[in-house]
Structure 1
Amino acid sequence: MTAEIPDFRPALTRLLPDLRAFARFLTRDLTAADDLVQDTLLRALRAESQWQPGTSLKAWAFSILRNAHYENRRRAGAERRALDKVHVTEEVEAGQEHRMEVAGLARALSTLPREQQEAIVLVGALGFSSEDAARVAGVAVGTLKARVSRGRRALATRFGERPAEDPPDEG
């Protein structure tokens, strides 16, 4: 990357209201528009060396915003088409009791030490193997397994269940 272009960032900052307005026009959704503007700013900052001083920064930034919007729409369409091909064999009605159980689990999980929360989420919710989860957490595999075990035991106690034996690691 070349040296920072003088006045590039302040000028880009001054474009924010106009970028937001255009993003809101394109997305018709305030949250999506804010995400789009953020994505645009990140892209513009990464490509700062590609902007040519003397040319319109506004046109350049708006082109980035527009291209990002249509790229996101194409990606969303591809994702939607892929999901449409997935056949759901069984539907489970999300009743209030399910929401209450999830809320209770979230509260119980929040009472655990941060390291145990992370370990349980990586292994239990996200499906990482112990080895991969240990890499993500930056700890030894044995440490990660101990955190998962202690966390599961604490959660089982909070839910009034007898802790089950930890299954053998498959990962």
Structure 2
Amino acid sequence: MQTHRFDPALRDEMSRLLPRILRFARSLTRDAAAAEDLVQNAYMKAVESLAQFTPGTRLDSWMFKIVQNTWIDEKRRAQRSGNVISLQDARDAGMPVQGHGGNDRVFLRAALATLPADQRSALTLVLIEGYSYREAAEILKVPDGTVMSRVARARRALVDLHDADLAVPPRDIKRGIP
């Protein structure tokens, strides 16, 4: 491994990015512990690859790309080793999966977890992180139109989930009938 002088200003900027990077990693992994591991691995790769970073360009975009690529690499590695379980398989096995009730944050987190990874990452970058479609496309290495359609499909799926949740009949509190 090559050693590079680690500019304190760059280190500070990477530290300031950490909450956003972690939020993006959580949207990819759907698990807080896995997201923390992903971020740690991505930051290690970033430090090892500092020579490839072009000063004056956007560090946040560079870091999001590293997180995205690290996640893809880890997912491929897990699939090859057979360590992947789908959300439906987890439900079928009786494992606890996130649900929701009246808490909008819990509902949103659970709803985001149901989206395909490509839609979830596009939606997170555009709506949560505030990137333009073009910037998100550069991070995800896809055309702008692909990001637009992924975000649109993700929004539609979230609206449908929300509408379905509202369609569940409320409990009759007076009689205790569900």
Q: Does TM-score exceed 0.5, indicating one fold?
A: no
Please tell me whether Structure 1 or Structure 2 has the larger radius of gyration of its CA atoms: 1
Structure number with higher relative contact order (C-alpha < 8 Å, ≥ 6 residues apart): 2
TM-score, normalised by the number of residues in structure 2: 0.43
